[in-house]
Structure 1
Amino acid sequence: MVVPFGQPHFGDEEIEAVTAVLRSGWVGMGPQTLQFETELEAWLDVPRVVTVSSCTGALFLALLSHGIGPGDEVICPSLTWCSTANAALYLGATPVFCDVDRASFCVTPETILARVTHRTKAVIVVHYGGLAVDVATLRRALPPHIVLIEDAAHALGARTPDGARVGASGNLVCFSFYANKNISTGEGGAIALADPDAANHLASLRQHALTTNAWRRYSHPESSVGQMKLHELGFKLNYTDLQAAIGRVQLRRQAEFAAHRLAIARFYLDELAKKGGFKCQTGLGGLDHAHHLFVTVLPDSALRRKSRDDIMRRVRNRGIGLSVHYVPLHRMPLYHTGVCLPVTEELADRIVTLPIGAAMTMDDARQSLDALFDEIA
């Protein structure tokens, strides 16, 4: 039996939504995209959402819009996907890696402040696995000139300690709709924010920074004649109506997806507790964790007999999509860093990520655990 690590959960409604867009004759960014943004704004309870082509693009535009560039440092955790750090490199800035907390696997004010220098211009917080970081406390701890950006690729649906959804902080909050995310449109991302002027600027930057877009020119030809102007360098990072049509259906199904992920997470937690020796991320099984990932630290007893990578190979050879999130970025040759991050390094060779997702069955979850338990025996 094959259990993929992450698989989107699409049904007839998503297929029908895409078919309707194809039949409409307009597949680029247009009315479906604008409606999806409006629905996300209401769902997140935020003033504005700007969709883009990926969460990587969202992080890039978030830093760009704050003037981050050469000579600036951007602090982020090393325990993250490369997009978090690469967004700084694209602009000529320097990613500076910080450690994480042993229980939450997330950054804390202390781990970030330990890396602040006079060159620090921004911090990118990662809501790792779907656990919301307390960004309000972090904001109070940071010097006011440092920009706070949230990488919420894992965290759609998570809630912060004050009960608000991740995205409603007033920071620039970047989401992902990649294939394995909590709602998926295949690819795509979005930026949630409070400032309407900043949102309008981001909406322009995603389409070459033109003063009018293709849908406006198509739908209002009489008002767009001679209106296209270009005042700054923009980029091709827009979303499409094909994706948005899927996203609108997926957003309506989010509560269903979240409940199923929660059930799988609680099943895993119960079974791992019975087995003993496993350590799991704080917040797993709670109502406010998005449960994008289920990450656990393998028992000492298992790691004395086999390496984590050997265990992974054996489980994956049985058709189970066991994974690792992540190989720490500060160990990657690209970043040329010799920093020591003791907690990240301690976790790095011990963590595994069990399959979790709305398309899985509980039998898939049982098969995944059985394979893992067999290989650590």
Structure 2
Amino acid sequence: MPPTFQPDRTVQPFLPFTRPSIDEATIEAVGAVLRSGWLTTGPRCQELEAALSARFGGRPVRLASSATATLELGLRLAGVGPGDEVITTPLTWVATGNVILQVGATPVLVDIDPLTRNIDLALLEAAITPRTKALLPVDLAGLPVDRVRLYEIAQRHQLRVIEDAAQSLGATWAGQEIGLGGDLVSFSFHANKNMTTAEGGCLVMNNEDEARRFERLRLQGVVRFPDGSADVEELGGKSNLTDVAAAIGLGQLKQLDGFNQRRIALARRYFELIPRDLGLELPRADFDNSNWHMFQPLLPRGVVRADFIARMREHGIGVGVHYPAMHLFTLYRKMGHFEGQFPHAEDVGQRTITLPLFPAMNDTDVDRVCAALRAVLS
């Protein structure tokens, strides 16, 4: 049976809910880029794109300054624009909805499955209309949406899919790593992700035509010619990644599988040690598919989350919140959304907490968290 925890009154370093692991070789590689004089998009970006493409079976991969940018450009590649609808989830970082608005389309929200906390595919088809152009599912906390069922729906209705796989790099579905298949797949390399470039992201695409257009869109729509002249064929933006960031990513990619295995081991320890009598609702224990980007129990109903976070901090434990239900933000209320519209997303959004989980953690760090949970919730 699980051990009885006692509050730890010794002074220990603060344990954040996440922290990137950057080794000395990666720091040296960044220094080499700085010394080279070529800091922006260049050979290190090309090297990282090639390494990611190799991981994803030779599919074209291009980098950008954020996963938000790759989602927006993915929508543009899919032909989404004014008058179109894109179906997504209300339980996500607001960027997922905002990029749909940025291209002039309308986000159509579908409630989550309370077990997986991902979009409920059983409800998705009812939201499809003649204006629906694409699906934008989100893999919350690194647990993928059922890709088999998702693409059955997409193919039946002839819809494009832009996968918000920001959190699921290295995760799998039906034995296949996310990114090896599918339509347009967006990954994030933000500082809190399983692999980081400090800021950044990439899009996995279907062919070189899409990749070339992505390159134009991420840098003002410019097309350059061998004689030094240039043209702008369509409106683009400024979302290229730097070689400084790519140098970090190259070091991180080599360690990604090890990072993910460590996350899995830490998640297993949480399941083993979290006291079951505290009333926490644990996430789905999927150790076949998830990369365990985050470990997110739900607080017991009636516990004030702000008070819980403050008390955990007194015990030296950092706690995050990922995410409030997006449709309750003022921007989305102005669009007609309202409280009670998506009850499962609202319930999870109100009670979710993100506990510390990152590769540099020791087993004893999980023990500390569990002891603090016992002290705070009992």
Scaled by the length of structure 2, the TM-score of the pair is: 0.91
Report the equivalent of 2:313: 316
Report the equivalent of 1:270: 272
Aligned-partner Cα distance in 1 for 2:369–2:283: 18
Structure 1 portions without partners, runs of 5+: 213-222
Per-residue displacement from partner, 1:268-298 (whole Å, max 9, x unpaired)? 01112655643322244x1431110111123
User: Aligned with 2:107: secondary structure?
Assistant: strand
Deviation at 1:372, TM superposition (A): 1.9
Counterpart check, 1:159 vs 2:165: no
Report the equivalent of 1:174: 186
Contact kept? 1:262, 1:287, Cα under 8 Å: no
Q: Counterpart of 2:297 in structure 1: which amino acid?
A: T
**Pairing 1:46-195 to 2, within 5 Å after superposition:** 46-142=58-154, 143-161=156-174, 163-195=175-207
Aligned-partner Cα distance in 2 for 1:355–1:92: 37
Counterpart check, 1:40 vs 2:52: yes
Deviation at 1:263, TM superposition (A): 1.2
The equivalent position to 2:329 in structure 1, one of 328, 332, 336, is: 332
Report the equivalent of 2:376: 375
The equivalent position to 1:239 in structure 2, one of 238, 241, 258, is: 241
Q: Counterpart of 1:371 in structure 2: which amino acid?
A: A
Aligned-partner Cα distance in 2 for 1:274–1:92: 47
Contact kept? 1:108, 1:138, Cα under 8 Å: no
Aligned-partner Cα distance in 2 for 1:114–1:355: 37
Report the equivalent of 2:364: 363
Aligned-partner Cα distance in 1 for 2:266–2:109: 32
Contact kept? 2:309, 2:318, Cα under 8 Å: no
Report the equivalent of 1:261: 263
Count of matched residue positions in the alignment of Structure 1 and Structure 2: 361
Deviation at 1:344, TM superposition (A): 1.2
Report the equivalent of 1:290: 291
Contact kept? 1:46, 1:167, Cα under 8 Å: no
Aligned-partner Cα distance in 1 for 2:18–2:330: 28
Report the equivalent of 1:219: none
Aligned-partner Cα distance in 2 for 1:171–1:133: 14
Deviation at 1:6, TM superposition (A): 1.4
Deviation at 1:33, TM superposition (A): 0.5
Contact kept? 2:275, 2:370, Cα under 8 Å: no
Deviation at 1:62, TM superposition (A): 0.6
Q: Counterpart of 1:107 in structure 2: which amino acid?
A: I
Aligned-partner Cα distance in 1 for 2:46–2:285: 34
Deviation at 1:112, TM superposition (A): 1.8
Contact kept? 1:8, 1:184, Cα under 8 Å: yes
Q: Counterpart of 2:235 in structure 1: which amino acid?
A: L
Per-residue displacement from partner, 1:284-317 (whole Å, max 9, x unpaired)? 4x14311101111234xxx44x323322222134
Contact kept? 1:210, 1:228, Cα under 8 Å: yes
User: Aligned with 2:128: secondary structure?
Assistant: coil
Contact kept? 1:46, 1:192, Cα under 8 Å: no
Gap change, CA 1:348 and 1:104, over 3 Å in 2: same
Structure 2 portions without partners, runs of 5+: 1-12
Q: Which moved more, 1:118-127 or 1:261-270?
A: 118-127
User: Aligned with 1:229: secondary structure?
Assistant: strand
Aligned-partner Cα distance in 1 for 2:263–2:50: 26
Taking only aligned residues, the RMSD between alpha carbons, in angstroms, comes to 1.7
Report the equivalent of 1:353: 354
Per-residue displacement from partner, 1:188-212 (whole Å, max 9, x unpaired)? 0000122221111112211112123
Aligned-partner Cα distance in 2 for 1:246–1:131: 25
Deviation at 1:37, TM superposition (A): 0.6
Per-residue displacement from partner, 1:11-45 (whole Å, max 9, x unpaired)? 10111110111121111111110110110111232
Deviation at 1:57, TM superposition (A): 0.3
Deviation at 1:365, TM superposition (A): 2.1
User: Aligned with 2:176: secondary structure?
Assistant: coil
Contact kept? 2:119, 2:145, Cα under 8 Å: yes
Aligned-partner Cα distance in 2 for 1:210–1:274: 58
Contact kept? 2:273, 2:367, Cα under 8 Å: no
Scaled by the length of structure 1, the TM-score of the pair is: 0.91
Contact kept? 1:106, 1:126, Cα under 8 Å: yes
Q: Counterpart of 1:253 in structure 2: which amino acid?
A: Q
Aligned-partner Cα distance in 2 for 1:230–1:349: 46
